[in-house]
Structure 1
Amino acid sequence: MKIRAAIPAEKDQICNVLRRSIAELCTADHAGDPTRLDPWLFNKTPENVLAWMNDPTARMLVAVDGTTILGIGSANASGEITLNYVSPDARFRGVSKAILGELENYLREQGNNLSKLTSTSTAHGFYKACGYRDSGPAQKHRQINTQPMEKQL
Structure 2
Amino acid sequence: MSSEIRSLEVRPAEVSDAVAACTVLRRSIAECCGVDHKQDPAILAAWLGNKTPEMVASWFASPTNYSVVAVQDGVVVGVALLTGAGKLALCYLLPEVRGQGVGKALLERVEAQACSWGVKALQLHSTATGEGFFAKCGYIDSGKVRSPYGVETVFFWKQLEAGAPAADGSKRKRFCNCNSA
| TM-score band w.r.t. shorter chain | over 0.9
8 A Cα contact 1:30 1:144, kept in partner: yes
State the alpha-carbon separation in 2 of the partners of residues 43 and 77 from structure 1.
20
Structure 1 or 2: larger helix share?
Answer: 1
Match for residue 138 of structure 1?
A: 144
Match for residue 168 of structure 2?
A: none
State the alpha-carbon separation in 1 of the partners of residues 57 and 41 from structure 2.
25
Q: Aligned partner of 1:134: which letter?
A: D
Structure 2 counterpart SS, 1:71 = strand
Match for residue 81 of structure 2?
A: 74
Runs of 4+ in 1 over 2 A off after TM superposition: none
State the alpha-carbon separation in 2 of the partners of residues 132 and 74 from structure 1.
17
Extract unaligned runs of 5+ from structure 1.
Answer: none
Q: Aligned partner of 1:43: which letter?
A: N
Match for residue 114 of structure 2?
A: 107
| TM-score normalised to structure 1 length | 0.96
| 1:1-153 to 2 correspondences below 5 Å | 1-135=8-142, 137-141=143-147, 142-153=149-160
Q: Displacement, 1:89?
A: 2.0
Superposition RMSD in Å: 0.9
Question: Once the two structures are superposed, what CA deviation does each residue of 1:45-104 show, in whole Å capped at 9, x if it has no partner?
Answer: 001001100110111100001320110000012211100000112111111111011010
Structure 2 counterpart SS, 1:32 = coil
State the alpha-carbon separation in 2 of the partners of residues 34 and 16 from structure 1.
18
Q: How many residue pairs end up in the alignment? A: 152
